[in-house]
Amino acid sequence: MKAQLYNVDVVANNIANVNTVGYKRNRVEFHDLLYETTRRAYVMEDENRPVNLQVGHGVLPAATTKLFRTGSFERTDNYLDVAIQGDAFFVIRADNEGTQHYTRDGSFKLSLTDNGMMLTTSDGLPVLDDGGNEIYVNIDAPRLIIGTNGELSYTNDAGENEYLGYRIQLVKFQNRDGLEAIGDNFFVTTSASGEPQPDAEYGRPSQLRQGYVEMSNVNIADEMVNLIVAQRAYETNSKCITTSDDMLGIANSLKR
């Protein structure tokens, strides 16, 4: 029952984040617990027992897996919104000490700083370029052009494209399932995920789509089915406990 309650919590979190940009669905993995073996299978010269006689002791939540399947793209026509077509992540500087977080959320903003308008997340954290530097966009946002490879340029008065000198950094991981979600649409590395690798140097390069955001990959219909299954499993387990208690009560009354 505790395992199914944990399952319901995970499903509820998926449903709650159905509209969260860049959210990746969680799935619970279960392991069966220890078995009590009453009789073991064996083969001898004069007799044999081909099967075991065992009873299990329940189930245990073993892990929650992030399913990194790409979500659907929603068109916003916002010049600062960017979606990643591929497996890469944006790199965000989380603090003044240089700590880096990684995200699929490309709903960026422009924040006013002493050096001009800086490309940031909704919380004001800097988006980094391929050199690990902050990105400044000191032009009108409607003139900004974000190329599929992350290069930033703009249309000048002559109608020509001029390069701003920045390219949005994209990274990949050898084992992205090992990334740790910390909230605010951010992931951090672990020893299981490995260190970030430049997107262009690792596998097939990802592409950016300006004017789009990647929505959650949660399928609400699937989650509702999973919720019903978890609820029914919880109820059935409670029935098993009640039935076992009733049977023991009958056995005790026979003894009396």
Q: Quickly tell me which residue has 């500087």 as its tokens.
A: 93
pLDDT digits 0-9 by tens, 52-110: 888 888 899 998 899 999 999 999 999 999 999 999 999 999 988 889 999 999 999 99
Distance between CA atoms of 235 and 45, rounded to whole angstroms?
48
Residue 120 binned pLDDT confidence (cut-offs 50, 70, 90)? very high
What are the distances in angstroms from CA 19 to CA 15, 24, 124? Answer: 9, 11, 21
Average pLDDT value for the chain: 91
Which tokens is 205 given? 């390069």
DSSP run (H or E) holding 64: strand 59-67
Distance between CA atoms of 36 and 180, rounded to whole angstroms?
36
Distance between CA atoms of 101 and 81, rounded to whole angstroms?
18
Instruction: Kindly report the pTM of this predicted structure.
Output: 0.85
For the chain, the domains span 2-68+218-255, 73-214
pLDDT digits 0-9 by tens, 197-249: 999 887 789 999 999 999 999 999 999 999 999 999 999 999 999 999 999 88
- Per-residue model confidence (pLDDT) at position 190: 93
Residue 42 binned pLDDT confidence (cut-offs 50, 70, 90)? confident
Task: Name every residue whose Cβ is closer than 8 Å to that of residue 243 and which is 6 or more positions away in sequence.
Answer: none
- Per-residue model confidence (pLDDT) at position 11: 96
Distance between CA atoms of 98 and 184, rounded to whole angstroms?
18
* Percent of the chain whose pLDDT exceeds 70: 99
Angle at alpha carbon of residue 84, lines to 162 and 160, rounded to 5°? 15
**Of 66, 53, 56, nearest to 31 (Cα)?**
56
- Per-residue model confidence (pLDDT) at position 57: 86
- Per-residue model confidence (pLDDT) at position 256: 59
**Of 206, 210, 208, nearest to 145 (Cα)?**
210
Q: Does residue 192 surpass a pLDDT of 70?
A: yes
Q: Does residue 115 surpass a pLDDT of 80?
A: yes
What are the distances in angstroms from CA 177 to CA 19, 41, 47, 161, 181? Answer: 22, 39, 49, 39, 10
